[in-house]
Amino acid sequence: MEINIISKTKNKLILELKGEDHTFCNILRKELWNDSSIQSAGYNIKTGLTEIPKFILETKEKTPKKALLDAVSRLTKKSKEFLNKFKK
């Protein structure tokens, strides 16, 4: 995955997630909505399988970067838990 920041302000972050598709973007979007500081979180893939997703994140309290890092941390933990249960 390659991450390109398109726009960054105090409460808004727009980035491209090159190499990703709906699968990862949906998981990330849903996890971000578990954070009460999120004002909006979503993504757009224009058309076709070769388009680069644009992810848009707006926050009320935390910085968008902190909210994103928190969500990724929670997803990493959930993935490890799933892997451990699957191995059993």
- For residue range 21-56, what is the model confidence (pLDDT) as tens digits? 889 999 999 999 999 999 999 999 987 667 899 999
56-80 tens-digit pLDDT: 999 998 999 999 999 999 999 999 9
Q: How would CATH label the architecture of 2-83?
A: 2-Layer Sandwich (3.30)
Q: Model's pTM, two decimal places?
A: 0.86
Question: How far apart, in Å, are the Cα atoms of 78 and each of 12, 33, 65?
Answer: 26, 16, 20
